[in-house]
Structure 1
Amino acid sequence: MSNVRRVPHCSHWGAYTILVDDNRIVGVEPFGPDPAPSPIIHSVAEWTKSDRRVLQPLVRQGWLEDRGASDGRKRGSDRFVPVSWDEATTLVSDEISRVARDYGNASIFAGSYGWTSCGRFHHASTLLKRMLNLVGGYTGHVDTYSIAAGPVILRHTLGNESACGGGANTLDNIAEHTETLVVFGAMSPRTSQSEAGGIGTHQLETHLRRIAERRVKVVLVSPLRDDLPDWLNAEWMPIRPNTDAALMLGLAGEIVAAGRHDRDFLDRCTSGADTLLSYLTGTQDGVVKDAGWAAEITGLDATAIRTLAAQLVDSRSMLTVSWSLQRAHHGEQPFWAALGLAAMIGQIGLPGGGVGYGYGSLGGVGAPIQTGKSPAMSRGMDAIRSFIPVARVTDMLLNPGTPFTYQGETRNYPDARLVYWAGGNPFHHHQDLNRLSEAWTRPETIIVQDPMMTATARRADIILPASTSLERNDLAGNRRSDYILAMHQAVAPMGQALSDFEIFSRISEKLGVRADFDEGRDEMGWVRHLYDLSRTDVRERLDFDMPDFNTFWEQGFAACPTQHNHTYLANFRADPQAAPLATESGRIVLGSAALAQLGYDDCRAHPAWIPPAEWLGAPGASDALHLLSHQPKGRLHSQLETGPSSREEKRNGREQVRLNPDDATTRGITDGQTVRLWNDRGACLATARLTADQRPGVAVLPTGAWLTEQAEGPELAGNPNVLTLDVGTSQFGQGCSAQTCLVRIAPHDDNPGDAIEIYQAQLTALLT
């Protein structure tokens, strides 16, 4: 072992040391200060296997022959032709110039949404947009697939989205002061493994242990019992999916009916409260929103709802809402209804009280708040203002020129002739993939830049092989991480792969903008520069000392200044006039004048229960199951899908779909059996896993299986997005509605084989 090198590194699921012997990864050790390192770090050697890597620049044969006139329906089936880097970058720069000249820069869609690397320098999306801004701009996106409707409604009702991005009460504050904790959705170590931009220490479990030690009353409102660790001994309220807003409003209605709502807080700190109160009391529509009303919608016990309503005002109570709840039709409503309920209780701004969003959805949400400047590459000034809501890609491609609404504004979809996707896989994370497949035939040219031959790369015209983070130098860290972490190159690049920075530098040179793109710095020059910007900021503004760059680079990490025991909106509560919010009233908005004027029926002037397009209470849904597609345990999205931690969660070569035993018995399904899931949008195969830890009527199929299609028949790997609904959450938020999805499930006797092996065979056919 004397020749083994120890290489500090970081990925989205945490920091670690890579052990390298002769350009080969022989082990991974967790970051010492991390109390709960993710097991996914032990799968990173999978990136160095050639099976699914893009090893050289490739061009689709039909596109190479006919360029923009080629048949887009052959994407995914045409074979690829290897080309040199010089030819590939010439083709790319020529296409950017052609589309900008002939159609305008808004016709270049810089999709580039994904989690390729946590590195703050080699950040594919930022570097792509930096380059395109230097040549006239592009159409981009706003918000994320993970969270869109939630931030939109909170910007309007709280003035910004910080409450769902790590700015609400920190978990240490909750662990020490809360007496009743109600978890809507989840607060799971499974999802807190990951953090955008990397993470130094995973702290969720530490705080949950403290909550258990203090014997805090914990109530889990979720269809899944294991959305909290079992050792918390939480009371489980197995709610129907997509009905949380009704429960929140029913709880608020009970508090109001008992005359226990905090009128002083409502008068001082909110606007439009009377609008919400008239809805709760039935004055507005003749329907009283109480426990009985909520029980009928949610499938919960009315007595349990009444008991919880009393507990919320009898104790210091904290409401937490996971991001997953707003990834549903009318997803704005549970976020707004939780705010309305917390306002009725009146504990917003008190230690351990109020409401917060996203705890456990990422590893850094609820952690001590990093107060320094996080390292980040700049995309520069936007040359044009052209964007779409992130999940409306298919709508844009199918309906150029048609109007869409977002945050009360009406805009038109651009005519996207060129799609450049760097570091992402929409054929994993987008909804209704059969609809996306049709839309994907429309652009004249599609460029994909990625280390892996993903389902999206297979459907490209030009593929540029990017290196993984293991094959270049970078640094990690963000506003939710307590460390900046060095990411040393561990192994040589595979094949002809280049770093994202080098690829864009070469294209920028052919576009005549390289000097402005790289500013005269090479890779290590930029890594040093970004670190020094953060170091200088904390020294000058906070009088906090971080090590110089050479020391940081050698030891592999630098601690950042953090704020512990944070109480959200404490100053606002103390004096709303002195610390107003950036809302229409300067206060928390419970009844919105702006939304009243807009008159949307799917996002009203107050939080409301609006039945989603598909749910278990809908007519004709009695034989359907509600499909939830959550983050998998053994990987992040579609990354490292073939790694050991991911394979451990598969059976019979495909993803497992969780079913309640009662639902399985009714359908003649046994544990371990191959099953077919289908609806009007598509079909896929999965392996049944039976568990009593979820309510009847619910099926759970994790995201991330690599889309593996056949000429006819269901998708083979268990990708839930061949089934999910592709509509905006509302006219106001336009987020994704992935969790609003009804399916049928039945045994499938014909097992076509291991989906991973089938995908590999399909790749071989495209490349030979």
Structure 2
Amino acid sequence: MRRTVTHFGTYDVRVEGGRPVALDPVADDGAPNGLADGMLDVREGPLRITSPMVRRGWLERGPGPADGARGSEPFVAVSWDRALELVATELARVRRTHGDEAVYGGSYGWGSPGRFHHAQSQVHRFLTMGGGYTASVNSYSAGAMEVVLPHVIGGDSWSFAERGVQWPEIVEHGELVVSFGGTAAKNAFANAGGVARHRQPAWQRGARAAGVQFVTVSPLRGDADPALEADWIAPRPGTDVALMLGLAHELLRTRRHDEDFLTRCCVGWEPFERYLLGRDDGVAKSAAWAASVCGIAPMTVVELAERIAGSRTTINVTWSLQRMQHGEQAHWMGVVLAAMSGSLGRPGGGYAGGLGISLMGVRPRRHRIASLPQGTNPVGPALPVARIADALLGPGTPYDYDGSRRTYPDLRLVYWAGGNPFHHHQDLHRLVRAWQRPDTVIAHEAYWNPLARFSDIVLPIATTLERDDLAAGMMDLTITAMSRVAEPPAGVRTDYDVFSALASRLGFGETFTEGRTADAWVRELYDRTVANLAEDGVPLPSYDDFRALGSVETPEPAPDERWSFARLREDPASYPLPTPSGRIEITSATIASFGYPDCGGHPRWYEPAEWLGGSAAERFPLALVSNQPSRRLHSQLDHAAHSRAGKVAGREPVLLHPADAAARGIAAGDVVRIHNERGACLAGAVLTADVRPGVVVLATGAWFDPETPGVTGSLDRHGNPNVLTADRGASSLSQGPSPGTTLVEVTPYDGVPPGVRCFDPPEIATD
């Protein structure tokens, strides 16, 4: 029996006749899922790419803006020698003619959980050693909170994961978890570095069994495990900050706020208090005000404030809430509400940024696991990841980011390995238009997904099942040996093989490989991990014994209490936070100094461009929630049987409240058209009372399938919500994505709907 690790679980692989035939979740995984079920049925399917491919127009006319041809022309199969020569020559030309900053190293890190065969590490190492490249910063997942929280509580962009409330202390000491955005079980399925065991659901249920009460604030009842018996509050989407402000005002009005903590451990309470009371703008952020914004009853706000004040409370703010216009405000306000509640810095209570996601809250950290060194990129500054279309459409245009004024580079070559921008990005028709601008787009891909179809040169890459590696997920204590359980199809290579060959052609092959094969690199990374853990007093077996064992468990690392809220509460002078003041910055003088009209010095309610309480709702009266899917990770394996089994009428399902469906003449199972001024898509109707009226839910990740790519309003046949979402930055502070700020209308589709085409291979022309 051989073992492998995926983003969605660890599996023992049954092999018969030299071929993998089944992936069995490891026996002690308490909550396995079906996301990996399709890995075997698509490995050698019709959408597998097994030869280097070049877009015909690029091959015939050479590099240059594509004027709509990228994404619509046939491909030509070429030999590896020819493909590598084309890539090497084009990279050299762009660097020579336009400079290293003209190369964009696109990668979102997905593709393999392995520490060595990690697509993002591979492409960034290669481009750095070739002279440098324009990199991206922050993530589509948490772009706004990654920028704002270091100003508010200090530390790096991910230190909130360590310093938030953890489930073990909630079980022992907690009494109430108020989760803005929910703790949906599907969000625990995956981990970028692999999942050894799915432990999140058991901890949540353990907290409920210990008597902890749950409140879910979300337009979707299903954003909490039914076993948690959570009370459901369903405000209008995008109004969570207003609700938090109403709760804060009620705590202040009733004198239940933690004045001692706010005075000793925070700065900037007074300006925020004035804002709460409406002393400057004339609008008190009262329970009645919050209720009017959120579309809920005022007593709901009053009663929840009483429960927060009377309980050891965790204020959990999920990541989805910062993927909105002004998304920074939700997590900033979540910290402030926790500080006011009296629970911050006390066992089992306080602030958490994303409890329920992967292993968030299960433990604060893991040991140092070595990864492939990427080197120091000499090109800067990095581009906020969600602003790639802006950069392609407007080279030389100035923009704001976290207090700096920057200029978009003139990107001429996009090199993408790992991730799918035609899943993550917003306003996909705009992205298609931007995608025509560079001279060349190169992608490493295993399947004919939308990224491959919108590239000029596509290099076929081995999958997780087809290479050896080692894995250790974020906050996971298990290190697992990943076994090659099948050889790649003929004509398919690993990312490392490709980059090694390209580096050799470009004159830095030895520097890139350091003389090591891929398997030698995996051994090297394990040996470096052994050395890292030895410094912590943790012994590991030899590499050969590790591979024979299949996995090793490491002990819980000692907690890092340098910046803990508990120590801050104990003695803020002796245990300061890494903020300018050393305390929690309710009002940040730094952010205030930036002078941004869309992100001031303390958290506040900003009316979004699109929401159910605004004028735009007169034309598009439904709020779109584009959440994470339950049958795949992002867009991965959408063409596999497990994902396709969840389609309705062959398309992505859209959830509607029965009252909204009846008003539009929509029945369950109907094909419907979802549209706004940016685009339209088809989906299959599912009716449920577990969605707030006025809200529709269309999960992300359906493969982009446009009738006319790049044309505003063109129909996506399959149900990708990002033809509807706006490509606007959350604010001038973070420039994070804001898909959660979207209004739409839904109507029955009139006539025979067009067939879904994204699961058909593209046309392959003769060379």
Cα deviation digits, residues 137-174 of structure 1 (max 9, x gap): 00010011111101111011111234543541221111
Residue aligned with 2:623, SS: strand
Q: Which residue of 1 aligns with 2:526?
A: 531
Q: Which residue of 1 aligns with 2:691?
A: 694
Within-5 A mapping of 1:534-683: 534-540=529-535, 542-563=536-557, 568-622=564-618, 624-683=621-680
Q: CA deviation at 1:32?
A: 2.7
Shift of the 514–475 alpha-carbon distance from structure 1 to 2, 3 Å rule, reads same
- Residue identity opposite 2:697 in structure 1: V
Q: Which residue of 1 aligns with 2:196?
A: 200
Within-5 A mapping of 1:197-276: 197-276=193-272
Q: CA deviation at 1:560?
A: 2.2
TM-score in terms of structure 2 length? 0.96
Residue aligned with 2:183, SS: coil
Matched, 1:432 2:427: yes
Conserved 8 A contact 1:62-1:70: no
Shift of the 510–565 alpha-carbon distance from structure 1 to 2, 3 Å rule, reads closer
Q: Which residue of 2 aligns with 1:512?
A: 507
Cα deviation digits, residues 421-468 of structure 1 (max 9, x gap): 112211121100000011011001111111111111111111111111
Q: CA deviation at 1:130?
A: 0.7
Residue aligned with 2:252, SS: helix
Residue aligned with 2:758, SS: helix
Q: Which residue of 1 aligns with 2:295?
A: 299
Conserved 8 A contact 2:165-2:314: no
- Residue identity opposite 2:212 in structure 1: V
Residue aligned with 2:178, SS: strand
Q: CA deviation at 1:23?
A: 3.7
- Residue identity opposite 1:238 in structure 2: A
Q: CA deviation at 1:762?
A: 5.5
Conserved 8 A contact 2:730-2:736: yes
Residue aligned with 2:122, SS: helix
Worse overlay, 233-242 or 712-721: 712-721
Conserved 8 A contact 2:147-2:734: yes
Q: How many residues align?
A: 759
Residue aligned with 1:358, SS: coil
Residue aligned with 2:534, SS: helix
Q: Which residue of 2 aligns with 1:763?
A: 762
Distance of 2:592 and 2:420 partners within structure 1: 38
Distance of 1:560 and 1:751 partners within structure 2: 57
Matched, 1:706 2:711: no
Distance of 1:304 and 1:287 partners within structure 2: 20
Shift of the 210–691 alpha-carbon distance from structure 1 to 2, 3 Å rule, reads same
Q: CA deviation at 1:378?
A: 1.5
Distance of 2:545 and 2:163 partners within structure 1: 31
Distance of 1:735 and 1:423 partners within structure 2: 20
Distance of 2:128 and 2:419 partners within structure 1: 20
- Residue identity opposite 2:605 in structure 1: W
Cα deviation digits, residues 595-638 of structure 1 (max 9, x gap): 22222111111000001111000024145110111111111011
Q: CA deviation at 1:106?
A: 0.5
Conserved 8 A contact 1:368-1:563: no
Worse overlay, 196-205 or 477-486: 477-486
Q: Which residue of 2 aligns with 1:349?
A: 345
Residue aligned with 1:248, SS: helix
Q: CA deviation at 1:764?
A: 4.0
Q: CA deviation at 1:753?
A: 5.4
Q: CA deviation at 1:65?
A: 1.8
Residue aligned with 1:197, SS: coil
Q: Which residue of 2 aligns with 1:3?
A: none
Q: Which residue of 1 aligns with 2:23?
A: 28
Q: Which residue of 1 aligns with 2:382?
A: 387
Distance of 1:565 and 1:400 partners within structure 2: 45
Residue aligned with 1:397, SS: helix
Q: CA deviation at 1:566?
A: 8.9
Q: Which residue of 1 aligns with 2:738?
A: 737
Q: CA deviation at 1:53?
A: 1.4
Q: CA deviation at 1:478?
A: 3.4
Q: Which residue of 1 aligns with 2:681?
A: 684
Cα deviation digits, residues 467-514 of structure 1 (max 9, x gap): 111111111113411211111111110231100111100001011111
Residue aligned with 2:36, SS: helix
Q: Which residue of 1 aligns with 2:397?
A: 402
Q: Which residue of 2 aligns with 1:722?
A: 723
Q: CA deviation at 1:573?
A: 2.1
Q: State the Cα RMSD in Å.
A: 1.7
Conserved 8 A contact 1:175-1:352: yes
Worse overlay, 695-704 or 746-755: 746-755
Conserved 8 A contact 1:79-1:767: no
Cα deviation digits, residues 648-696 of structure 1 (max 9, x gap): 2111111000000010011110000000000010000000000000100
Conserved 8 A contact 2:727-2:738: yes
Residue aligned with 2:179, SS: strand
Q: Which residue of 1 aligns with 2:484?
A: 489
Distance of 1:407 and 1:47 partners within structure 2: 43
Q: CA deviation at 1:352?
A: 0.6
Residue aligned with 1:650, SS: coil
Residue aligned with 2:654, SS: strand
Distance of 1:594 and 1:764 partners within structure 2: 54
Matched, 1:149 2:144: yes
Conserved 8 A contact 1:375-1:477: no
Cα deviation digits, residues 228-262 of structure 1 (max 9, x gap): 01121111101110100011111011111112211
Conserved 8 A contact 1:12-1:195: yes
Matched, 1:420 2:419: no
- Residue identity opposite 2:551 in structure 1: F
Conserved 8 A contact 1:61-1:78: yes
Conserved 8 A contact 2:466-2:488: yes
Distance of 2:39 and 2:361 partners within structure 1: 27
Within-5 A mapping of 1:334-345: 334-345=330-341
Q: Please, which runs of 5 or more residues in structure 2 have no aligned partner?
A: none
Shift of the 689–565 alpha-carbon distance from structure 1 to 2, 3 Å rule, reads farther
Distance of 1:639 and 1:438 partners within structure 2: 24
Conserved 8 A contact 2:46-2:761: no
Conserved 8 A contact 1:187-1:322: yes
Shift of the 269–594 alpha-carbon distance from structure 1 to 2, 3 Å rule, reads same
